[in-house]
Structure 1
Amino acid sequence: MEQFLIVAATHFLALLSPGPDFFLVTRSAMSAGWRVATGACLGIALANSAFILAAFAGLSALQPHCTLFIVIQLAGCAYLLYIGSLFIRHAGSSSLHADDNRQPPTLQATWRQGLGMGLLSGLLNPKNALFYVSLASMVSQASLGWKLFYGLWMFSVVLAWDVLVAMAIGNLRIRRQFSRYLPWLERVAGAVLIALALAVIIHLLWR
């Protein structure tokens, strides 16, 4: 039980740290409503599950110095640069006064497209693979049953947290209150994602 509490607390604290997945959920919820954003939430949770499974299975491809892991990181950086530039370029182009059924002109807001964007964001998030490899080392001596339980728990927590964020930010009244700040929030989010990508690239070049 003590190990579970440590793992659960570590995992949840990592969720509280804003990253590419968080910005995707908030951007989707703000521009299209929380129902559409749940697609991105599920995609992110599924991507996290893939990393959890790979890390807990001890796949060598997820070791930090392996070529495939570096390629994944670079692909993730390219994705962050793309999403970051997209946020900045389209800052303020979405109306927060539209109802949840309206299709926004950017980051097309169908549930399936949200699912695909969430899956891609989670798989190409440079932080995810490294975090779950580190977390797996904490439970390396646990039984298969406990590892399955940890995996299901983390999938559920990721999904529940992202849906809660989407519901809070996707609320029409909250969206209206934030309408004047949305362009700046989008620009800041874009800048953070670009900075994160550049930091990872610099780290890979100088290590």
Structure 2
Amino acid sequence: MYLEVFAVGILAGMSPGPDFFVVMKNSLGFGYRVGIATALGIALALIVHITYTILGFTLILQQYPSLFIVIQIAGALYLLWLGWNAIRSAPKKGELNTDVDVEQKEKSSLQGFREGFLCNVLNPKAALFFLSIFSQFITADTAGWVQWIYGSEVIAAVGLWFVLLAIIISYPKFRSFYKKYSYWFDRLLGGILIYFAVRIMISAMKA
């Protein structure tokens, strides 16, 4: 059972979603340190989701749908903000960039961590994801400590996957290719984030 839960966590992390594209964008644009920090931010946000799921907060969301809609809208607005900043990426103008320009465009690990955390913690689908996992592997007889082990497995699986993704994508050859076409990469990834934001908005409106 433990291996099954871990496998589900890995598969969830590998499926394309806002977290995946935020880690990809930060790793390509700013290197493995910022990419790994983004992955760790996502992992910390997963602890939040796991905690309120186990403590029964998901039941509160079910009883008060308006609260869930507020979370959906907040998450969509954050993704829109990330996507909008990405599609505003301007093409580099030859060799005009100075060292000061480069420093201004750098992103700190703390910024990457914050982006990863907010991207995941404001994702309303995370609550549904954990609810679906727990409904498959947990019964009324399942001990509390077993539930926390299951949750920890998912956190470890997703966190390790995104850390590995950040390291691989930060490989110099990937980054050199990205730098040549960063303008289009940023716009593409920004468009994907906006797409997810619009989907969440539509879901909230239907609710």
The alignment's TM-score, normalised by the length of structure 1, stands at: 0.85
Quick one: structure 1 residues 199 and 65, their matched pair in 2 at CA, closer, same or farther if it must change by over 3 Å?
A: farther
Unmatched 5+ stretches in structure 1: 94-101
Residue equivalent to 2:86: 87
| Deviation at residue 114 of structure 1 after TM alignment | 1.6
Which residue does 2:157 correspond to in 1? Answer: 157
- Which residue pairs with 1:54 in the alignment? 52
Give the aligned residue type for 1:88. Answer: I
Separation (CA, whole Å) in 1 of partners of 2:206 and 2:80: 20
Most deviating of 183-192 and 76-85: 183-192
2:126 maps to 128
> In structure 2, what is the equivalent of residue 72 of structure 1?
71
Cα distance in 2 between the residues matched to 1:163 and 1:103 = 25
Change (3 A) 1:138 1:62: farther
Matches within 5 A, 1:89-128: 89-90=88-89, 92=91, 105-106=104-105, 108-128=106-126
Task: Flag structure 2 segments of 5+ consecutive residues without an equivalent.
Answer: 93-100
Distance 2:103 2:167 in 1: 18
For residue 28 of structure 2, the aligned residue among 21, 27, 30 is 30
CA drift at 1:76: 0.3
**Letter of the aligned partner of 1:73 in structure 2?**
Q
Higher relative contact order (CA 8 A, sep 6+): 2
Q: Is the 8 A contact 2:9 2:158 kept in 1?
A: no
Residue aligning to 2:62: 63
Q: Distance in 2 between matches of 1:14 and 1:109?
A: 27
Distance 1:104 1:29, change over 3 A: farther
Cα distance in structure 2, aligned partners of 1:17 and 1:27: 16
Check 1:64–1:120 CA distance in 2 against 1; reply closer, same or farther (3 A cut): farther
Deviation per residue, 1:22-58 (Å, 9 max, x gap)? 1111111111110122211111101011101111222
Q: CA deviation at 1:91?
A: 5.6
Cα distance in 2 between the residues matched to 1:125 and 1:69: 11
Would you say the 8 A contact 2:6–2:157 is kept in 1?
A: no
Once superposed, what is the RMSD of the aligned Cα atoms? 2.5
Contact 1:91–1:187, Cα closer than 8 Å, also in 2: no
Identity of aligned residues (%): 37
Going from structure 1 to structure 2, the CA distance change for 1:32 and 1:64 (only over 3 Å counts) comes to farther
Q: 1:64 to 1:89 in 2, by over 3 A?
A: farther
Q: Name whichever structure is richer in helix by fraction.
A: 2
TM-score w.r.t. structure 2 length?
0.85
Q: SS in structure 2 opposite 1:178?
A: helix
> Aligned AA for 1:68?
L
Give the aligned partner of residue 14 of structure 1.
12
Higher CA-based Rg: 2
Per-residue CA deviations over 1:166-206 (Å, capped at 9, x if unaligned) read: 10111222211333343322222211221221122222222
SS of residue matched to 2:179:
coil
What SS is found at the alignment partner of 1:75?
helix
Task: Count the aligned residue pairs.
Answer: 199
The alpha-carbon distance between structure 1 residues 46 and 64, as it changes in their structure 2 partners (threshold 3 A), is farther
**Alignment correspondent of 1:170:** 170
CA contact (8 A) 2:38 2:109 kept: yes
